[in-house]
Amino acid sequence: MTAVAGTDGRTVDRRAVISVLRRLRSPQGQTDPLPLWAELRAMGDVVPAPWGGYLVTGFEACSQVLRGRTWLVPDLAWQDRLPDPGRWQAPATREMSHALSRLNAPAHTCRRRSLGNLFDRQTLAAMQPDIEGHVAALLDVLAERLRTHGEADLVTCAAELLPVRTVGHWLGIPAEHHARILDFTHRQVHAQELLPTAKQLAVSAEATAEMRVFFTDLIRQRRARPGNDVLSGWIRHWDAQLPDDRAEADRVLYYLVMFITIASLETTATLLSVAVRLLLAEPGRWEWLRERPEHIDDAIDEALRYDPPIHINSRVAGEDTVLAGVPVARDTMVHVLYGAANHDPRRNPDPSVFDILRGGQHLTFGGGAHYCLGAALARLEARTFLRQLLNRFPALKLADGPVYAPRMVFRRVTSLRVTT
């Protein structure tokens, strides 16, 4: 059967949805997903997913799902209620089910409160000189590469390294471990794709085991030699909360530090590469922003709207409900399509125009109780990076790329070659 119950009285062809999703994952779809998001939006705000549940494409409907109290993240309790929970039981998938983003209240509220506002003004001000230093050092490497080779890969020289240096420094993780952290993060992420293959799950399982060893060791070593750093603070907090259960305190700490680290890496790196790509895509745009650095923050937000580092996030209905006119039964999973939502012309007119001064709206950092904890840090990294890049490389140009990893959920630019 190819026709599935549609929205607004429409019938949606299952094969058409599969075709768009397949094209989204292809190199062409990764390079230019805009027409595919438009195709999905044209099918409705709430489109039946071929494997059950729904894809949510409209801005308003996505925002409602992210912010609504009746929508939950797919936690372990939900997974265990499924008639066939197989897809959720792969070790790497299961591991992520304990992370902050997969907890509902009250466990989520308790963990999130324990972190407070991680990147408040004061913390960011204290981090800023370090971030300036990391950017300057990375751009020295970029400059040298451009001088000796005539072109350079912005991703491997700088964009991918800034987030791991920033968060590594903040958590007190020595630089010698950064390459290893990046490596297992890139491999672990497969398990968080929509329909990972058995081979991808095996790669993720191996990466998950490495990740567990790494962060467990980190906590053990920090516990032995605590300091005034953020991780020592978390250890003190959870030891005080769970005075009689050190093993449980270690478990909570592992999931916190592991998830915060990996959540901060590919996402921010993708933002940096995408922002540069979009600014160099049109003649004169780079120079325009260089002369008006007061609009760097606007450019960052437009890049976040235009090409979000995370494409898809999932929620489940906590009760029988109606979404954009479509009845959705309790426990049904829906997939929020951030890119499709950000390009909804009802919210952002002429969505395919990259307009730094648009003052548009986006859902790129999610919403509601799970709103991204690192949004302010990601913005600070992007601001510092762009400001220095604009100053030091007034004649920067695209040489080749971008090249994207073939992913559906977590976007990753693997190469962006630039020249001067």
- Residues that bind ligand HEM in the complex, under the rule CB under 6 A: 66, 100-101, 112, 167, 259-260, 263-264, 267-268, 271, 309-310, 313, 364-368, 370-374, 377-378
Give the separation between CA 34 and CA 348, rounded to whole angstroms: 14
Question: β-strands 11-13, 321-323: how paired?
Answer: unpaired
Give the integer Cα–Cα distance in Å for 63 and 231.
Answer: 33
- Residue at shortest CB range from ligand HEM: 374
Which of 7, 4, 17 has its CA nearest to residue 58? 7
CA distance 342 to 363: 7
In the complex, what is the shortest distance from the CB of residue 113 to ligand HEM, in angstroms, rounded to a whole number? Answer: 11
- Report, in Å, the least distance between residue 283 CB and ligand HEM: 26
What is the smallest separation between the CB atom of 261 and ligand HEM, expressed in angstroms? 8
Question: Beta strands of 293-396 (E only): which ranges?
Answer: 312-317, 321-323, 326-328, 333-337
Q: Measured from the CB of residue 123, what is the shortest distance to ligand HEM in angstroms?
A: 11
Preceding peptide of 351 cis, ω within 30°: no
Judged by beta carbon, residue 30 or residue 313, the one nearer ligand HEM is 313
Alpha carbon 382 to its chain's center: 14
Least distance to ligand HEM, CB of residue 10, Å: 28
- Compute the least distance from the CB of residue 13 to ligand HEM, in Å: 29
Tokens for 335, please give them: 């997939």
Nearer to ligand HEM, 12 or 316 (CB): 316
Nearer to ligand HEM by Cβ, of 53 and 366: the residue is 366
**CB-wise, 44 or 366, nearer to ligand HEM?**
366
Among residues 45 and 266, whose Cβ is nearest to ligand HEM? Answer: 266
By beta-carbon proximity to ligand HEM, the closer residue of 12 and 161 is 161
Local structure of residue 406 (DSSP, 8 states): S
- Residues in CB range of 141: below 8 A, 6 or more apart: 157, 158
Residue with tokens 């913390």: 123
Contact assessment for residue 256 and residue 111, using Cβ atoms and an 8 Å cutoff: yes
Cβ partners under 8 Å of residue 261, min gap 6: 167, 171, 173, 181, 185, 215
Q: Whose Cβ is closer to ligand HEM: residue 6's or residue 233's?
A: 233
Q: Smallest gap, in angstroms, from Cβ of residue 114 to ligand HEM? A: 11
